[in-house]
Amino acid sequence: MNFNDFPAEPFRIKCVEPVKMISRKEREEVIRKAGFNTFLIDSEDVYIDLLTDSGTNAMSDKQWGGMMQGDEAYAGSKNFHHLDATVKELFGFKHMVPTHQGRGAENLLSQIAIKPGQYVPGNMYFTTTRYHQERNGGIFVDIIRDEAHDASLNMLFKGNIDLAKLQKLIDEKGADAIAYVCLAVTVNLAGGQPVSMKNMREVRELTSKHGIKVFFDATRCVENAYFIKEQEPGYENKTIQEIVHEMFSYADGCTMSGKKDCLVNIGGFLCMNDDELFQDAKELVVVYEGMPSYGGMAGRDMEAMAIGLKESMQYEYIEHRIKQVRYLGERLLEAGVPIIEPIGGHAVFLDARRFCPHLSQEEFPAQSLAANIYVETGVRSMERGIVSAGRDKVTHENHKPKLETVRLTIPRRVYTYKHMDVVADGIINLFKHKEDIKGLRFVYEPKQLRFFTARFEQI
Ligand SMILES: *Cc1c(COP(=O)(O)O)cnc(C)c1O
């Protein structure tokens, strides 16, 4: 590992939030009280918070300036027009509907675009995305390439759709039985793995032949664009903005969680080209979110999001972002800690199957590993494995994903390389006595999206 490969922070800090580490004894008490679920730990008890990169972004001075320019009119806020114009310019879609966050957009899209019994193929599931699809009668079908389910395979564009799987679904069920293809860029649960431009183009060609729509989960589209620039021939001299624009030219619309690549703390939107769908979305947004000119956001939030979306496309920003994540991953790899390869865009995923080979999947190895990391280091991470995958709607059996992981998610523009060293050193230390990590069992299992509030005890 060569330290020169990693650029210094392309910003300087003008506002700080002190953090402190509580003692190991206190952390043991905290995790027990939290039912061994890192979602139930108070922020104040966390030293370095890698639970999620969702809404944990640091905003720029320009964004904070924008916050003071909120036009809080109930209808027709000028910040809405700024956001609307920015999204249309950068993404190239015809229509935009604001929502309070990503799942607000997923709710609207699932309601207007899925008929009960229709299939919704996608490149691996995302928790809230699949939930809304299923709630509206959709049947999720995983059409990501097989390699994405193998944590140890290091290859480019591991998030690609397997076109043969999509073709097979069309042949077997017919194009009318498919609501739309949901294409995520990058694929969160596969480890933040990107999709190539070639794959997006091919998905577009295949679906066009059959009149099937394609909606992107655009949540991490800027991170995906960086990987295309870095790794796909023909794109090395294109700007991030040009790449993002081309990506969306292969879609009929997208859902977006602004809490990720828009560099804000709250917000989201839904885009589409179809006029009728837009009409439907506008009728529904008033039921769930608010007027079509604010969709659950304050004027100031829309302003910050418009500015943040532009900032996220600056090369220096996104290069540092991706490489800081890579730095943490490479430090762990160097010490033999098993992680998903290649290192993705927003997080390093520990492979809990290889980290805790002494635990079966039903003993929730990733859930327990996340709890143990907290006790060992004061660092908060999250389970992405059998607990997050939930149960089958029909059989009520646990979904048993091949990937049993702990996600160390890096907030944007928040931590330094030294913080990454503290995380790496702590986890490398835990790896040396990994046999001490015990299995868990449920003491409380919520019916929906159980990982958020479930409680466990040690076996
Ligand atoms: C976060 C996320 C969502 C949901 O967005 P929220 O803003 O949390 O509602 C959807 N898809 C992906 C890939 C995400 O990472």
> Phi, psi at residue 440, to the nearest 5°?
-125, 160
39 is known as an active-site residue:
no
Cβ pair 55, 257 in contact under 8 A: no
Percentage of the chain lying above the pLDDT 70 cut: 100
pLDDT band, very low/low/confident/very high, at 157 (cuts 50, 70, 90): very high
- The pLDDT of residue 151 is above 90: no
Q: Which two tokens stand for residue 360?
A: 């079966």
**385: helix, coil or strand?**
coil
Tens digit of each residue's pLDDT (9 = 90 or more) over 396-433: 999 999 999 999 999 999 999 999 999 999 999 999 99
Which of 384, 412, 413, 450 is catalytic? The answer is: 384
pLDDT for the residue numbered 2: 85
**207: helix, coil or strand?**
helix
The closest of 59, 38, 55, 36 to 47, measured between CA atoms, is: 38
Distance 259 CA to ligand 1 centre (A): 8
pLDDT for the residue numbered 1: 82
Q: Please tell me the pTM assigned to this model.
A: 0.95
pLDDT for the residue numbered 365: 98
Pocket of ligand 1 (CB under 6 A): 54, 101-103, 126, 128-129, 184, 188, 217, 219, 257, 259-260, 268
Question: Which residue segments constitute the domains of the chain, with CATH numbers given?
Answer: 3-53+315-458 (3.90.1150.10), 61-312 (3.40.640.10)
Tens digit of each residue's pLDDT (9 = 90 or more) over 116-128: 999 999 999 898 9
Tens digit of each residue's pLDDT (9 = 90 or more) over 59-113: 999 999 999 999 999 999 999 999 999 999 999 999 999 999 999 999 999 999 9
Tens digit of each residue's pLDDT (9 = 90 or more) over 3-62: 889 999 999 999 999 999 999 999 999 999 999 999 999 999 999 999 999 999 999 999
Percentage of the chain lying above the pLDDT 90 cut: 96
Q: DSSP secondary structure string, 60-77?
A: PHHHHHHHTT----SSS-
Q: What is the mean pLDDT of residues 287-313?
A: 97
Ligand 1 atom closest to residue 258's alpha carbon, by position in its atom list: 7
269 is known as an active-site residue:
no
pLDDT for the residue numbered 443: 96
Residue of minimum CA distance from atom 5 in ligand 1? 102
Residues constituting the chain: 459
Q: Which of 223, 256, 260 to mutate to test the pocket of ligand 1 (most atoms within 8 A of CB)?
A: 260
Name residue 413's beta-bridge partners.
none
- Mean per-residue pLDDT over the chain, rounded: 97
168 is known as an active-site residue:
no
The closest of 358, 371, 386 to 27, measured between CA atoms, is: 371
- The pLDDT of residue 220 is above 90: yes
